Amino acid sequence: MRVLAAMSGGVDSSVAAAMMHEEGHEVTGVTLKLWQGPDGEAPTHGCCTVSDSEDARRVAAGLDIPYYVFDYTDDFASAVVDPFVESYRNGRTPNPCVECNRSIKFSILLEEAARLDCDLLVTGHYARVTREGGRWRLRRGVDQSKDQSYVLHMLGQEELARTRFPVGEMTKTETRRVAADLGLRNAHKRDSYEICFIADDYRRFIAQRAPEAVRPGRIVDASQNQVGEHRGVANFTVGQRRGLGVAVGEPRYVVELDPHTSTVVIGSARDLLTGAIEVEKVSWVDGAPPPQAQPECLVQLRVHGEPVGALIAPSDSRPDRWTATFLEPQRSAAPGQAAVFYRGDEVLGGGTIARLLR
Amino acid sequence: MLYLDHAATTPIRPQVWEEISALADRGWGNPTGFHASARAAKNALEEARERVAAVLGCRPLEVVFTGGGTESDNLAVKGAALAGGERGGVVTSAVEHEAVLSSARFLEDWGCTVTRVGVDRDGLVDPSEVAAAVTPDTAVVSVMAANNETGARQPVREITEAVRERTGCNVLVHTDAVQAFVSEELAVEDLGVDLLSLAAHKFGGPTGVGVLFVRDGVALEPVAHGGGQELGRRSGSHHVLGAVGMALAMELTAADRERFRRDVSEARRRFEEALSEQVPGLSVTSHSARTVQHSHLRFPGVANQTLLVRLDRLGLAASAGSSCQSGAAQVSHVLSAMGLSGSEARTSVRFSFGWTTQPSDGDLAAKLTIRALEGLL
């Protein structure tokens, strides 16, 4: 088959491309240029650096496959970075990887793969695509600690039919061993965890683009009594405990952010508990929600969060939203993060947390 | 493989390779030394200088060897502006190579006045507009002979005349002839310019060597300071083998121009005619006044990134015309200045023919391009 391999320069996507090549597919490597500094230069650290694309280029050269850099900086700015900033402006905590997968990798790049007559798009994500009962399924990667199915929840049948994640079948240790066996130059390159387009501190990034999200404000308790001051709601995430600068007896958490008045509401662990959430931009891997009236499933609320039991149902108030009612109240739900629905290790679908229903 | 990216670089001419190889064991010395190997190198270098001068119709000491086209442009623009004393102004066009535009921007950051004259839809400046932009503060006017992306040929002689008419000989005129030299007769006397940039690798010479013609009596502030080589205008140990290779490549190019123009224009004619029949809405950029070797085409509705990958797969090398360090295609300042929209720019591809081109390459290029367009139109 003809394969387009998205290569970031990291070990996972390099191994993914190399494995497809080893299997005898006709692989074309591509690095996405997604971000550049205000002066038009590539960043020197973080992602999209010249050295990252150089690593990808060298791996591709070692495999003797064609390699290109595709420039999607305009698309990335409008589909990922602008909403990221907007999210902080609204007191939410966004996940830009989700938006990038939704709008760039499994949208624009997948379309490009089709135009280039490629049968498959291959990336270095830790997740698995399987075919069961005539349908495509998305499952957690074999390496639970590296699993990335959470940020891929928006994939549907059409996308999965043309997507493969070769390293999803392996542990990270195995991936590195394969890389070393293949002699890939980046076999021991360290993992990246940062937001790819922010080289240093996300707060400074937000401050430059949405100054209103970093204007000083009050920290209040549940009864609206001021207990402190802060330097901007963008510095906080619902559920956050550290960095409140408020000394009170029992542990205090951020329970709510009001971007309009720049107010941070704090409370006890009990105040943080959420019985249900409202989820927007919901999509289903199978194309439609599970057939049961109110299916029980597992919901994952953070990138590395533990899945928790919930009943899901279409929202009463908003037809385009779904409600997840937890079997036990949860403390880790934050607006802007993804809520992903699982059955066992299978992704059913997911969306973005719009509202906490306490 | 069909190589149609000669505007980016060209394959080295075999005779140039031979001459460089033949010289390698006796021309490696440092020409500034006090011994036999230095003398051998010095002789080779100065002979190369004379040969370059003969092709350009200038005196040998008016030839400054540099590290390439970019360095020549930097020396011309910055060197002239910085040597101008109180006068440090630059007048240039909006479609110059980045080497000129970035040099101008650098000078601007240091307080010099920079005026960028706009271009029409064909990418051409109006000479009277260039002259009108010259002020008592202007030290140098820099307008390219042919554009690297579109091939648009600027009226350099008319620009020089218009500037002279306005200012006398007070203001230096530079032209970046890196793209033009391969197909155009460029005698510096005819053009009337004071400064002219060339790069060897654009016409079958080696990379890493260029020339700046500097008219006798023109003072330039060096941009690379050091041992004072090239009469203090360009320090750094000489690239003797490169200079010799460049001199031969220039002679071969000058002698081959008639054949070049005939074969290349025939190849391009066949290419563009065949494509126009098959591609609805195909348009040629800078159609009215371009070099024979450039074919900058717009394929409505087809992303150039997609087309370039498909062409590469079929063994045809072309270009988006402008790329960043990573190689990604970008929307260029040249096309923006000509009034093309971002989407028009993203559907443009540059095919550039060169000294290896045969007339039949035009047929093959059209065939491959039409195949690459399958399903995209």
> Residue A116: which of B309, B324, B330 has the nearest Cβ?
B309
Listed in sequence order, the residues at least 6 apart from A178 whose beta carbon sits closer than 8 Å to its beta carbon are: A15, A18, A19, A170
State the average pLDDT over residues A334-351: 96
Q: What percent of chain A has pLDDT over 90?
A: 70
Interhelix angle A11-22/A172-181, rounded to 10 degrees, is 60
Residues B178 and B237 in one domain: yes
Q: What is the predicted pLDDT for the residue at B312?
A: 97
Residues pairing with B136 in the sheet: none
3-state secondary structure of B58: coil
Tens digits of residue pLDDT in A313-342 = 999 888 889 999 999 999 989 999 999 999
Using an 8 Å CB-CB cutoff, list chain A residues near B109.
Answer: none
Q: What is the predicted pLDDT for the residue at B238?
A: 95
Least confident span in A102-111, A201-210, B220-229: A201-210
Listed in sequence order, the residues at least 6 apart from B189 whose beta carbon sits closer than 8 Å to its beta carbon are: B57, B58
Listed in sequence order, the residues at least 6 apart from A132 whose beta carbon sits closer than 8 Å to its beta carbon are: none
Q: What is the predicted pLDDT for the residue at B81?
A: 96
Q: What is the predicted pLDDT for the residue at A195?
A: 82
Residues B366 and B342 in one domain: yes
* Tokens describing residue B317: 């090398």
Q: Is residue A46 predicted with pLDDT exceeding 70?
A: no
Domain-embedded: residue B230: yes
Give the residue, B313 or A245, on which the prediction is more confident.
B313
Strand arrangement, sheet containing A26-33: A67-71, A26-33, A2-6, A120-122, A163-164
Least confident span in A23-27, A267-271, B129-133, B277-281: A267-271
Q: What angle is formed at CA B325 by the lines to CA B321 and CA B327, rounded to 5 degrees?
A: 55
Q: Answer whether B325 touches A (CB < 8 Å).
A: yes
Cα distances from A152 to residues A127, A303, B96, in angstroms, run 8, 11, 45
Q: Is residue A47 predicted with pLDDT exceeding 60?
A: no
Q: Answer whether A28 touches B (CB < 8 Å).
A: yes
Q: What CA–CA distance (Å, rounded) separates B376 from A73?
A: 23
3-state secondary structure of A127: strand
For each of the domains in chain A, give its residue range(s) and CATH number, in order of start. Answer: 2-125+165-181 (3.40.50.620), 215-271 (2.30.30.280), 273-357 (2.40.30.10)
- Which residue numbers in chain B have pLDDT < 70? 322-330
Residues B284 and B222 in one domain: no
Domain-embedded: residue B48: yes
Contact across the interface for A33 and B306, Cβ inside 8 Å: no
Q: Among B204, B222, B252, give the residue marking a domain's end.
A: B252
Contact across the interface for A116 and B325, Cβ inside 8 Å: no
Residues B310 and B220 in one domain: no
Residues B268 and B224 in one domain: no
- CATH, residue B359: 3.90.1150.10
Domain-embedded: residue B123: yes
Q: Is residue A37 predicted with pLDDT exceeding 70?
A: no
> Residue A115: which of B306, B329, B342 has the nearest Cβ?
B306
Q: Among B217, B252, B287, give the residue marking a domain's end.
A: B252
Q: Answer whether A8 touches B (CB < 8 Å).
A: no
Residues B347 and B299 in one domain: yes
Contact across the interface for B313 and A66, Cβ inside 8 Å: yes
**Domain count across chain B:** 2
> Residue A33: which of B306, B326, B342 has the nearest Cβ?
B326
pTM: 0.90
Confidence of residue A44 (pLDDT cuts 50, 70, 90): low
Residues B228 and B302 in one domain: no
Give the residue, A211 or B212, on which the prediction is more confident.
B212
Tens digits of residue pLDDT in A124-164 = 999 999 999 999 999 999 999 999 999 999 999 999 999 99
User: Of A302, A7, A307, A54, which is closest to residue A167 (Cα–Cα)?
Assistant: A7
Listed in sequence order, the residues at least 6 apart from B98 whose beta carbon sits closer than 8 Å to its beta carbon are: none
Q: Among B252, B269, B284, give the residue marking a domain's end.
A: B252
Residues B357 and B221 in one domain: no
Could you tell me if B95 and B123 are in contact, meaning their C-beta atoms sit under 8 angstroms apart? yes
- CATH, residue B61: 3.40.640.10
Domain ranges, residue B185: 14-252
Q: What is the predicted pLDDT for the residue at B325?
A: 54
Q: What is the predicted pLDDT for the residue at B27?
A: 86
Q: Is residue A41 predicted with pLDDT exceeding 60?
A: no
* Tokens describing residue B102: 């970035």
Contact across the interface for A71 and B330, Cβ inside 8 Å: yes
Q: Answer whether B1 touches A (CB < 8 Å).
A: no
Q: Answer whether B168 touches A (CB < 8 Å).
A: no
Domain-embedded: residue B377: no
Confidence of residue A49 (pLDDT cuts 50, 70, 90): low
3-state secondary structure of B2: strand
Whole-complex ipTM: 0.86
Residues B99 and B247 in one domain: yes
